Amino acid sequence: MSNTEAHPAPLRCGGEPGDDGLRAVEVLTARQVPLGGPRAMPVRRTLPQRARTLIGAWCFADHYGPDDVSVTGGMDVPPHPHTGLQTVSWLFTGEIEHRDSLGSHALVRPGELNLMTGGHGISHSEVSTPRTTILHGVQLWVALPDEHRDAPRDFQHHVPAPVPLEGGSARVFLGTLAGDTSPVRTFTPLLGAELSVDPGATLSLDVDPAFEHGLLVDTGDIRMNGTALEPAQMGYAAPGRAVLTVVNEGPRTARLVLLGGPPFGEEIIMWWNFICRSHEEIVQARDAWVSGDRFGSVEGYDGDPLPAPELPTVPLRPRRNPS
């Protein structure tokens, strides 16, 4: 997915890892952003934001739907570039057609992970299929560490089986949880899982205390380690916890997405669809997209590539997670 804002904010993200102890869970509230298409399908963006720009290496989280595509127009994101990151596509309902300059042509379906590595440069398109009536899911980005940010283009697909838990279940699409480990390769330790919590149930999840965690609520009346979370909010838990407690206080099954990883100790600059290390590198990446170099071409998309927005008129400024 592309960041299709007309004037994307320059972000310098990261900072030194810190030990926050067992402080209360922070509540991160999403902002609504239009996502391209003839009628601009709205998405809820919880990362990045001023309160927190990264959770582990997770640097971008869009949550959308359930959208009636006959009303919203669905998803139609033209070919656009990425560098220095991996994209993680995860659906609850609907279907998206993915094409990229590696030559991949795949469908994103509910409960199936599609992970694309941009590395030095890749381009791709995403379009909801004609048989989709309701589109609902998340689109996530992972920042690549400096030693791997020019990795070769790659595309991976994985269908995780549900893991039964006392009070619910989990589908682990990245990392390890509840004894299940995803085979999908990442370049930093990560956790990504869809959780289902029964009405009135409590999940006690053993997690890596070196990780920080974000819990995105899709549906349900949730408490995360005692802190109330509403749908579309994300709860943030700092490193130091060996157990995450998730309570569904509502009358219906809750659906959540759990993200985690050790604090990302590198400073990065994120602008539009690029993750770089300096303003000059951002300029070079944009120029390469405009000139047609570096990112390759997407075959089979009916339309023109996404034009690059104008660069900011001032140098990129640092943005850091709070200490």
Quote the mean pLDDT of the chain: 91
CA distance 137 to 100: 20
What are the pLDDT digits (tens) for 208-247?
A: 999 999 999 999 999 999 999 999 999 999 999 999 999 9
Tell me the two tokens of residue 33. Answer: 């952003």
Given a contact cutoff of 8 angstroms between Cβ atoms, the answer to whether 111 and 172 are in contact is: no
Beta pairing, strands 122-128 & 113-117: unpaired
CA distance 128 to 105: 13
| Structure confidence at residue 248 as a pLDDT band (50, 70, 90) | very high
pLDDT at residue 12, rounded to an integer = 45
Given a contact cutoff of 8 angstroms between Cβ atoms, the answer to whether 125 and 98 are in contact is: yes
pLDDT at residue 7, rounded to an integer = 53
List of domains in the chain: 11-261 (2.60.120.10)
| Structure confidence at residue 13 as a pLDDT band (50, 70, 90) | very low
Alpha-carbon distances, residue 209 vs 66, 186, 236 (angstroms): 33, 19, 14
pLDDT at residue 15, rounded to an integer = 39
What are the pLDDT digits (tens) for 175-194?
A: 999 999 999 999 999 999 99
Please state the rounded mean pLDDT for residues 144-151. Answer: 96
Is residue 274 over pLDDT 60? yes
Instruction: Give the list of residues 6+ apart from residue 8 with CB closer than 8 angstroms, or none.
Output: 271, 272, 309
Instruction: Please name the helix (run of DSSP H) or strand (run of DSSP E) that holds residue 45, with its range, or none.
Output: strand 41-47
Nearest to 272 by CA among 80, 62, 63: 80
Nearest to 23 by CA among 236, 206, 265, 253: 236
Please state the rounded mean pLDDT for residues 119-130. Answer: 96
Measure CA 86 to chain center: 9
Is residue 128 over pLDDT 90? yes
DSSP 210: T
pLDDT at residue 36, rounded to an integer = 58
CA distance 107 to 321: 35
pLDDT at residue 21, rounded to an integer = 45
What are the pLDDT digits (tens) for 35-89?
A: 754 556 789 999 998 889 899 999 999 999 999 999 888 899 999 999 999 999 9
What percentage of the chain carries pLDDT values higher than 70? 89
| Structure confidence at residue 20 as a pLDDT band (50, 70, 90) | very low
DSSP 71: H
Alpha-carbon distances, residue 175 vs 45, 154, 159, 185, 216 (angstroms): 23, 18, 14, 9, 17
| Structure confidence at residue 4 as a pLDDT band (50, 70, 90) | low
What percentage of the chain carries pLDDT values higher than 90? 81
Is this prediction's pTM over 0.75?
Answer: yes
What are the pLDDT digits (tens) for 54-65?
A: 999 999 999 999
Tell me the two tokens of residue 81. Answer: 């570039």
